[in-house]
Amino acid sequence: MFRDAFLSDGGVGLMLVITADEEFEQHFYLKVIPNPRGVTIKVDSVGHPYRTPAMRAALLKALAAAEN
């Protein structure tokens, strides 16, 4: 689930994501960085999220949305 979003003065965005894999729930941020070809989306390393299937699915969904 994508929740809050924040935008810096420099145009870099942070999007709060909540994912769940069975009993395991985690919150993390995706960093959205503008570039000449569109945007780059990275998992923000501050929270050190686990690379679970739900986390990967959220990243792929964000990438697909950015392409449209």
Per-residue pLDDT tens digits for 9-46:
999 999 999 999 999 999 999 999 999 999 999 999 88
Find the domain containing 7 and state its range: 2-67
Torsion-angle region of residue 36: left (phi > 0), alpha (psi -120 to 50) or beta?
Answer: alpha
The per-residue pLDDT for 57 is 96
Counting the structural domains of the chain, the total is 1
Read off the tokens for 16. Answer: 């709060």
Q: Is the separation of the CB atoms in 53 and 40 below 8 Å? A: no
Strands 38-43 and 2-7: unpaired
* Whole-structure pTM value: 0.84
User: 68 pLDDT exceeds 80?
Assistant: no
